[in-house]
């Protein structure tokens, strides 16, 4: 009888612990975000959109060796850029920010409206689709603004400056398949380093 009581207590304790653990595992990764003004955007997201910041929208260009104006200007001394290049890139940067701020504000307002519809319980399937279409268009426009700007900088730069930019940004600097030391046969170097 004593064994059965101890066994029952053991299994009840394990069951209770399991229940507590299950409750703890159900805590959402979004906890705390319910206090945001716009639930789908963090304060950092909003700040980046309002300032015309990159928001990671131009990664396809940046990580494929096509520099953007903001980072070029940050690295103007190390690259180095000539005064005429700096002036041209500054003009590109000003235009980019002006366009990105306008579209960023539009995206913020659309996300605010989406949240408001859910909060007010006034959302319908039709309204949801309309808002999502507008949000998608705004996001696409914003991404286009940033990516197309990356297309305007390479013609202003030399191949050496672009290479230096990518080195300074840390792209591919440790990749033996990309960085073939001077004086080595590229074909043999790639073969010996397993580049395929």
pLDDT tens figures, 111-159: 999 999 999 999 999 999 999 999 999 999 999 999 999 999 999 999 9
Q: Which of 97, 65, 55, 94 is nearest to 168 (CA)?
A: 65
Tokens, residue 102: 């306008």
Provide the 10 A C-beta neighbour count for residue 125.
7
pLDDT tens figures, 34-74: 888 899 999 999 999 999 999 999 999 999 999 999 999 99
Q: Which of 142, 88, 84 is nearest to 110 (CA)?
A: 142
Q: What is the pTM of this model?
A: 0.73
Is 142 within 8 Å of 100 (Cβ atoms)?
Answer: yes
């Amino acid at each position: 009888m004593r064994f059965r009581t101890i066994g029952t207590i053991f299994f009840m304790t394990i069951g209770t612990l399991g229940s507590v653990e299950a409750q703890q595992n159900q805590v959402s990764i979004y906890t705390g975000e319910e206090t945001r003004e716009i639930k789908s955007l963090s304060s950092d997201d909003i700040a980046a959109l309002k300032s015309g910041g990159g928001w990671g929208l131009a990664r396809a260009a940046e990580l494929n060796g096509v520099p953007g104006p903001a980072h070029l200007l940050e690295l103007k001394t190390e690259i180095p850029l000539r005064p005429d290049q700096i002036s041209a890139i500054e003009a590109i940067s000003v235009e980019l920010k002006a366009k990105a701020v306008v579209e960023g504000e539009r995206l913020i307002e659309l996300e605010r409206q989406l949240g408001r519809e859910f909060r007010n319980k006034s959302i319908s399937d039709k309204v949801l689709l309309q808002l999502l279409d507008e949000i998608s268009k705004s996001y696409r426009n914003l991404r286009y603004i940033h990516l197309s700007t990356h297309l305007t900088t390479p013609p202003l730069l030399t191949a050496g400056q672009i290479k230096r930019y990518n080195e300074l940004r840390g792209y591919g600097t440790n990749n033996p398949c990309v960085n073939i030391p001077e004086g080595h046969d590229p074909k043999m170097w790639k073969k010996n380093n397993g580049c395929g």
